[in-house]
């Protein structure tokens, strides 16, 4: 990129990029497993699988292959537990506040594109104190398709101008 090219805007993922949400996700997942008589999982194992989605994380604790209906019920249960414990241990990664402040100070708009459902993403970014400066936030249920499909990114880019 030539030196005279200015960054026009920046889009960030939420989980694992701006914020370390794995501790609260691990706790919620383990509460679900305890409720169903399953062994709890190590934080590192959950962290490595967070990007695979909630059903994939739930499957880590069940030896048997889950039917879709049962998987969906467990996912709904997990998401409810997680919603009730959304920001107990979650923190922004070191340097994130400074980075976002630098973008704001140099008038570079930024936004968040996440696969996390809006009913979880919106209160989380509020709690983390970064919602007010984000020009846009596109959550996992904003559009019919989610990442890795590019629709969310295109939508966010349009919102940024």
Q: Note whether 15 and 29 are same-domain residues.
A: no
Residues 131, 114 contacting (CB under 8 angstroms): no
CATH number at residue 150: 3.40.50.1000
Give residue 78's domain range.
22-84
**pTM value?**
0.87
Q: Is residue 2 part of a domain?
A: no
Per-residue pLDDT tens, the chain, 161 aa: give them.
Answer: 566 678 899 999 999 999 999 999 999 999 999 999 999 999 999 989 888 888 889 999 987 777 888 889 999 999 999 999 999 999 999 999 999 999 999 999 999 999 999 999 999 999 999 998 999 999 999 888 888 888 999 999 999 87
76 assigned to active site? no
Residues 144, 150 contacting (CB under 8 angstroms): no
Q: Note whether 40 and 53 are same-domain residues.
A: yes
24 assigned to active site? no
The predicted structure's pLDDT at residue 94? 98
Choosing from 15, 20, 24, 27, the catalytic residue is 15
Q: Note whether 59 and 37 are same-domain residues.
A: yes
């Amino acid at each position: 990129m030539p030196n005279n090219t200015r960054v026009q805007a920046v889009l960030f993922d939420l989980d694992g990029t701006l914020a370390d949400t794995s501790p609260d996700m691990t706790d919620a997942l383990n509460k679900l497993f305890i409720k169903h008589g399953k062994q709890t999982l190590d934080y590192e194992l959950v962290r490595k699988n967070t990007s695979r989605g909630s059903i994939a994380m739930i499957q880590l604790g069940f030896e048997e292959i889950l039917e879709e209906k049962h998987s969906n019920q467990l996912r709904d249960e997990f998401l409810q537990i997680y919603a009730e414990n959304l920001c107990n241990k979650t923190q922004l990664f070191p340097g994130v506040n400074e980075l976002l402040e630098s973008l704001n100070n140099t008038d570079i708009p930024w936004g968040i594109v996440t696969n996390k459902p809006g009913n979880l993403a919106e209160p989380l970014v509020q709690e983390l104190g970064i919602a007010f400066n984000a020009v846009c936030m596109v959550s996992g249920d904003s559009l019919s398709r989610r990442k890795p499909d590019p629709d969310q990114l295109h939508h966010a880019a349009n919102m940024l101008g």
